[in-house]
């Protein structure tokens, strides 16, 4: 049976479970699968897998029993369903934290997932990126009061220390023989669930700071502008490509800067102001 701890979408897990059962037994069908679960027809099963229907608590139990999940797997499946079904960002964070807890403490000892918790923590707080960049710019050696004072918005020395410890565990920084920290060239492969949840938090936090900067940062120290346009699907894709190209150009420019002494955050925000779901192909 597929390893459920590798899944971030319960619908995909159910589909893969069916595919494996079908390989084992060519006579296994959606209709048979639905009957085993307790559904009168395969229609509901189709709708669940396709995303048209969500599983309820009573249905969750039926799936767990039919797929013969053990206690840890059943717990993971139940939380995964809750995570996928909710649209509330706070609830998504709550259920994702529960998934991490199950992965790191379950009977099956899914300990490799602990690294993902640290990745999640890194992307969930914007100041971790700021601290990594400050360490790259300045010679840093355990002066957490200085480090905390140079982060905006201000954090505590204890938060700064924990951030440095996190960055070191992730391999983003390392301590040299002179006891000073330096940024490494190591990168991190972000798992899908981290990307979909923690990075959403990252962008939300960045957006809040951008909003606060309008009133808290002098105008000459910030640059905020916007434009409202009417475009086609094709033009949308072209603009996205231009944003990506510009972002790469900025990265190259920054690498050539030999006199860096500040940390800035550059956000790209391009979103619809009209209904994109029910728009007509042609205006009559």
Taking residues 138-156, report their average pLDDT.
93
Written as one string, the DSSP assignment of 27-46 is T--HHHHHHHHT-SSSHHHH
CA angle 11, 16, 21 (to 5 degrees): 130
Share of the chain above pLDDT 70, in %: 87
Q: Is residue 206 part of a domain?
A: yes
Residue 257 included in any domain: no
Neighbours of 241 (CB within 10 A): 10
In terms of DSSP H, where are the helices of the chain? 10-24, 30-37, 43-50, 57-67, 71-85, 89-105, 114-124, 127-137, 144-149, 157-170, 192-216, 233-255
Measured between alpha carbons, how far is 57 from 219 in angstroms, rounded to an integer? 53
Q: Which domain holds residue 95?
A: 4-108
**Which comes out higher in pLDDT, residue 56 or 189?**
56
Question: Total domain count for the chain?
Answer: 2
Query: Do residues 138 and 87 share a domain?
Result: no
| 185 vs 215: which has the higher pLDDT | 215
Sign of CA dihedral 181, 186, 187, 189: negative
pTM listed for this prediction: 0.58
**pLDDT at site 176:** 92
| Interior angle at CA 279, CA 275 and CA 284, nearest 5 | 135
Q: Residue 104 has what pLDDT? A: 62
Q: Mean per-residue pLDDT for 28-36? A: 92
pLDDT digits over 63-113, tens only?
A: 999 999 999 899 999 999 998 999 887 888 788 878 877 766 654 444 434
Q: Does residue 202 have a pLDDT over 90?
A: no
> Are 15 and 102 contained in the same domain?
yes
Among candidate residues 108, 133, 150, the one where a domain is terminated: 108
């Amino acid at each position: 049976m597929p390893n459920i701890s590798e899944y971030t979408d319960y619908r995909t897990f159910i589909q893969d479970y069916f595919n494996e059962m079908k390989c084992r037994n060519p006579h296994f069908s959606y209709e048979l699968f639905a009957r085993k679960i307790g559904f009168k027809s395969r229609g509901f099963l189709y709708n669940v897998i396709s995303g048209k229907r969500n599983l309820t608590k009573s249905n969750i139990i039926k799936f767990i029993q039919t797929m013969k999940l053990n206690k840890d797997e059943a717990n993971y499946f139940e939380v995964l369903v809750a995570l996928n079904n909710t649209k509330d960002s706070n609830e998504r964070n709550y259920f994702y934290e529960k998934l991490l807890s199950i992965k790191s403490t379950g009977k099956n000892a899914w300990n490799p997932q602990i690294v993902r918790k640290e990745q999640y923590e890194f992307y969930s707080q914007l100041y971790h990126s700021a601290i990594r960049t400050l360490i790259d710019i300045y010679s840093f050696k355990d002066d957490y009061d200085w480090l905390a004072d140079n982060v905006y918005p201000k954090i505590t020395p204890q938060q700064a220390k924990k951030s440095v410890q996190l960055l070191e565990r992730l391999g983003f920084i390392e301590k040299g023989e002179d006891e000073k920290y330096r940024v490494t060239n190591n990168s991190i492969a972000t798992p899908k669930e981290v990307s979909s949840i923690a990075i959403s938090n990252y962008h939300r936090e960045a957006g809040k700071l951008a909003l606060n900067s309008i009133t808290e940062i002098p105008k000459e120290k910030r640059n905020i502008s916007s434009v409202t346009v009417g475009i086609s699907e094709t033009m949308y894709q072209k603009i996205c490509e231009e944003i990506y190209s510009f972002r790469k150009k900025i990265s190259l420019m920054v690498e050539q800067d030999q006199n860096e002494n500040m940390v800035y955050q550059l956000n790209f925000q391009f979103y619809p102001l009209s209904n994109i779901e029910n728009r007509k192909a042609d205006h009559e």
